[in-house]
Structure 1
Amino acid sequence: MKKKVPSKKIITSALPYVNNQPHLGNIIGCVLSADMYARFCRKNNEDVVFLSGTDEYGTAIEMAAFAQNKTPLQICEENRIIHKKIYDWFNIDFDFFGHTTSTAHTKNVQDFFNKIHNNGFFTEQEIEQFFCDKCQIFLADRYVVGTCKFCKYTDAKGDQCDGCGHTYKSLDLIDAKCTLCHSFPNIKSTRHLFFDFNNFKDKLQKLFNTNSQYWSENGKQITKSWLDQELLPRCMTRDLKNRWGVPVPLKDFEEKVFYVWFDAVIGYFTFYKEYVAARSESKELDKNNVFATDNILQDCELVQFMGKDNVFFHTIVFPSLIFATNDSYPLIKKLSVTEFLLFENEKFSKSRGHGIFGLDLVDNTMGQSCLWRYYLAKIRPEKCDSNFSFTHFTNVIDADLNNNIGNFCNRVLKYIKNKNDKLISIDKLEHRDDLMVQTIDKIYKEYLTSFSAIRIREALEKILEISKVGNEYVQQVVSSKIEVPKGFQVAFSIVVLIGQLLEPFIPVSSEKLLKMCNRKKENFCESFYIIKSAEIGDDIKPLFNKLDDSLIERIKNFKK
């Protein structure tokens, strides 16, 4: 078999914000999608580091702390544990999972800032900002709510409207109020640091022209819409009530912190450095040396997963900051952007108790994680918003996992165990076998192509196609009554292939199936082939279980 040349990939999931627990849309939107792709790349013999971590600074954390009468750090530490518990239940296989309140991150962000500042790309500017006399604080974006000037949405936040997606200055809001005391704020002057993105528009356009061929269509369109207009300077510092952010290391700005999106995107590089430092055993790469150099980031391919509301920060803000350092940090190569996942045709809402959130699942009362990984991949909102439906969920699990994949695999393995003493011994293939191999090989290569292009739903459908071909082949063998034992032995190779292909999607079920086949997890080969000699395991049982009535009722009657 021809070996593929490994390439070093840093795969990132947009940092989940730690002010609350993630819902199903958050999970498939970046973390689970990135995990599936990372598993695929590892299995494709690629050198992969899969990184993420909790985004822990900013006003939303301060507001949550205020509402719960806790400190921001308490909120972060409590919710960080919840996030990790949920991701562990979903079998998210991070190589490193960090958090932005770490000392390492503070140092890395400040070093990043110093490079940009020394290169002259920050300017000081006095601006007018909302000031609440009652609370005696300048109001950062999230401490302001009002009516969006673009779409007239009446609950628009201070920096971005959830109604239409526009970003703006908080002073642009109509009838703005302080979110802490609900009074109308005054306007006062304060001094801040600004970064002019228009300085890098040509470089951003070149990056777009070069790499957007590897981006999902929605990511392309969102980025293009920004590049088609003037990129205005943006304020990169904040006056926060608790100074809850990375401190600005500059004289006369000691009381200010960085805008959360300035520090969050740099977090990917922090986490990679922490990952390398944690695994370094040589004096040349001890922890201090790792954080003193950026050389370890060279020659890495950056692949990023996110929801569509985060595209601007990853394709405009992040690359611009990298350009401003004049260093050779990796720029975004591949971009996978999801649309929104609805829950029974409405938006998820923690306050209204609408939707399934991570902690609702971790006790397994609504099924094992493999069911949820599979279904979320099935409905991944790749090109448009998609909808979670309880009825569709139960139908998909029965149709795809039980009736298609499960029945085929169980039928083949049970036959080989009971009729052939667990043995596979094939001397030569029949004409019917050659035709089947050609068909399976074509679909298998389409699976590889789809997954490489991060068309995850399409890749999943290819497994179902392979299982369907396998079912048809077995039925043809049984109907012909010719060389039936041999036909089932040939079909064993399809079962093994399915076990390997399922691994990025449902790794626990994949491992279970391969164990019954008495096969080890293997990297992808270039072509589908027939296993001529093997012996399967003793314990053959259904790969999936039918959803019992009580489980279906619990799922359909789920209420927050």
Structure 2
Amino acid sequence: MDRESKDILLKGPVAAAWNDASYVVKCFRAKPPEPILPVPGERNVLVTSALPYVNNVPHLGNLIGCVLSGDVFARYCRQRNYNVLYVCGTDEYGTATETKAIEEGLTPKEICDKYFEIHDKVYKWFNIDFDIFGRTSTTHQTSEPCIKTSNHLFLDLAKLQDPVNELFMKSSDQGVWSNNAKIITSTWLRDGLNRRCISRDLKWGTPVPLDGYTNKVFYVWFDAPIGYISITAGYIDEWEKWWKNPDEVKLYQFMAKDNVPFHTVVFPASLIGTKKPYTFLDSISSTEFLNYEDGKFSKSRGVGVFGNDAIDTGIPADVFRFYLLLVRPETQDSVFSWSDFAIKVNAELVNNLGNFINRTLTFLGKNYELVVPPVFPNDGDIHFLEQINVELQNYIENMEKCKLRDGLKCILSISKLGNGYLQAGEPWKLLKLNNNADK
């Protein structure tokens, strides 16, 4: 672009568009060499997605509710040049794991090993780009069960209500919280917190390390969120730089709404109780539920699309990713429908976004050897850039608020504008008319 043309662009509302476009060139951040640590003075973002149960094959509702949403947000943050660590892993303890082991004639450890590999395969196929994908299981002891009077360990949430409420008010005001997360948490706090049992008489789990609690393990919903920390500690010795660094690190957590109180009340309470400077929840993105056709996903009845089914369809993973984001249940329950899947993929992914990318690259390849030529903007071009800038700003605002579905819609609006711009300008006709590619 020559200086005169650039001066035209830098006058008026389009200036922001030019500045944003210039920033985009340098903002794509390659994943740093391991280990990833917070960088003082930079925006450090710690992303977690709810730990999926390891005793089954994940279905599409599980994917969009946690791991895919966390992945998309982490990718966005890297593109904005933020320093990101995305943590997840399989939740391997609890009654359901023991029950599944009995059902399949395996030990709990064998069940966990089997389904960890299945989860890992599914997430890799879906291009989920974790920085850490670990496991919550550790070395444990077992003993023969017997019927007896049992003492249990309780977390006295009532004594922690005030600091938990204070954290909730601060975090939900300064961070980004889904509306359902605010409602669920405020309801728990309004009704008053009570003592909550955090131990179970099970053989499979994290042993309670106290005298008098032999053969007891921690309740999975007390234990599981701590897995974010233990998984990070398994990745790097300097885990405290992420998890005990509230001044430098912002924690974003992704999950379905049924996981909310354990992340906004129980987990923060257990951290507050230590009286240590942990990195507390800053923002939470909790979805409603994704249903399947006219009913619900059901693991027991085999209803819905599961990870292995998606792989077997032959449909590329990115097509599933696109549609799941388009119907992400951000404010209310939504539905995965095969007929709607076909309509949306053809209309938006293929005919809109795909068409825009294809015709643009084809035109540049055919006429300019894939090098963008100098720009000589007219009034129509400047108006077009102003429209693009509006959508770009909307995209950034939505993504910063974890509104991933609305962010995708902004991208589709940009490609629609691009298609309209090409169709109206018909640059291929101008080239033929002038017989000069420089025009």
TM-score, length basis structure 2: 0.84
Which residue is equivalent to 2:73? Answer: 37
Code of the residue aligned with 2:66 in structure 1: it is C
Which residue is equivalent to 1:301? Answer: 250
Indicate if the aligned counterparts of 2:43 and 2:248 stay in contact, CA closer than 8 A.
Answer: no
Q: CA deviation at 1:366?
A: 3.6
**Consecutive unaligned residues in structure 2, runs of 5 or more:** 1-21, 28-40
2 CA distance for matches of 1:386 and 1:307?
13
Superposition pairs of residues 19-418 of structure 1, within 5 angstroms: 19-102=55-138, 137=146, 189-213=149-173, 214-240=176-202, 243-277=203-237, 295=244, 299-363=248-312, 365-418=313-366
Q: CA deviation at 1:14?
A: 0.4
1 CA distance for matches of 2:352 and 2:331?
26
Q: Relative to structure 2, which stretch is displaced further, 408-417 or 35-44? A: 408-417
Q: CA deviation at 1:430?
A: 1.4
1 CA distance for matches of 2:294 and 2:185?
27
1 CA distance for matches of 2:369 and 2:102?
67
Give SS of 1:329's match: coil
1 CA distance for matches of 2:242 and 2:49?
24
1:155-179 Cα shifts (integer Å, max 9, x gaps): xxxxxxxxxxxxxxxxxxxxxxxxx
Q: CA deviation at 1:431?
A: 1.4
2 CA distance for matches of 1:7 and 1:426?
35
Indicate if the aligned counterparts of 1:420 and 1:485 stay in contact, CA closer than 8 A.
Answer: no
Indicate if the aligned counterparts of 1:298 and 1:329 stay in contact, CA closer than 8 A.
Answer: no
1:36-93 Cα shifts (integer Å, max 9, x gaps): 0000011111111000000001110000011111100000000000000000000000
Q: CA deviation at 1:16?
A: 0.4
Give SS of 2:150's match: strand
2 CA distance for matches of 1:293 and 1:479?
51
Indicate if the aligned counterparts of 2:242 and 2:279 stay in contact, CA closer than 8 A.
Answer: no
Indicate if the aligned counterparts of 1:419 and 1:485 stay in contact, CA closer than 8 A.
Answer: no
1:186-225 Cα shifts (integer Å, max 9, x gaps): xx74211111111111111111211113100011111111
1:344-378 Cα shifts (integer Å, max 9, x gaps): 12111122221111111224x34010100000000
More strand by share: 1
2:401 maps to which of 428, 433, 453: 453
Indicate if the aligned counterparts of 1:375 and 1:396 stay in contact, CA closer than 8 A.
Answer: yes
Code of the residue aligned with 2:114 in structure 1: it is E
2 CA distance for matches of 1:68 and 1:228?
43
1 CA distance for matches of 2:357 and 2:432?
16
Give SS of 2:224's match: helix
1 CA distance for matches of 2:404 and 2:225?
25
Indicate if the aligned counterparts of 1:477 and 1:483 stay in contact, CA closer than 8 A.
Answer: no
2 CA distance for matches of 1:375 and 1:31?
15
Code of the residue aligned with 2:132 in structure 1: it is F
Instruction: Report the CA distance shift for 1:485/1:345 in structure 2 as closer, same or farther (over 3 A).
Output: farther
**Consecutive unaligned residues in structure 1, runs of 5 or more:** 107-134, 139-187, 278-284, 490-531, 534-560
Larger Rg: 1
Indicate if the aligned counterparts of 1:13 and 1:51 stay in contact, CA closer than 8 A.
Answer: yes
Which residue is equivalent to 1:280? Answer: none
TM-score, length basis structure 1: 0.67
Code of the residue aligned with 2:187 in structure 1: it is S
Q: CA deviation at 1:30?
A: 0.3
Code of the residue aligned with 2:82 in structure 1: it is E
1:366-421 Cα shifts (integer Å, max 9, x gaps): 40101000000000011111000000001111001111111222222222333445
1 CA distance for matches of 2:366 and 2:172?
54
Code of the residue aligned with 1:238 in structure 2: it is R
Give SS of 1:30's match: helix
Give SS of 1:81's match: helix
Which residue is equivalent to 2:35? Answer: none
1:105-153 Cα shifts (integer Å, max 9, x gaps): x8xxxxxxxxxxxxxxxxxxxxxxxxxxxx9645xxxxxxxxxxxxxxx
2 CA distance for matches of 1:28 and 1:271?
22
Give SS of 2:254's match: strand
Indicate if the aligned counterparts of 1:25 and 1:340 stay in contact, CA closer than 8 A.
Answer: yes
Q: CA deviation at 1:252?
A: 1.4
Instruction: Report the CA distance shift for 1:235/1:423 in structure 2 as closer, same or farther (over 3 A).
Output: closer
2 CA distance for matches of 1:350 and 1:485?
62
2 CA distance for matches of 1:398 and 1:220?
37
2 CA distance for matches of 1:368 and 1:215?
32
**Number of equivalences:** 396
Instruction: Report the CA distance shift for 1:296/1:449 in structure 2 as closer, same or farther (over 3 A).
Output: closer
Code of the residue aligned with 2:378 in structure 1: it is E
Give SS of 2:273's match: helix
Which residue is equivalent to 1:478? Answer: 426
2 CA distance for matches of 1:326 and 1:86?
39
Code of the residue aligned with 2:215 in structure 1: it is E
2 CA distance for matches of 1:433 and 1:422?
21
1 CA distance for matches of 2:169 and 2:416?
40
1 CA distance for matches of 2:75 and 2:160?
35
Q: CA deviation at 1:294?
A: 6.7
Identity within the alignment, %: 43
Instruction: Report the CA distance shift for 1:137/1:338 in structure 2 as closer, same or farther (over 3 A).
Output: farther
2 CA distance for matches of 1:455 and 1:274?
31
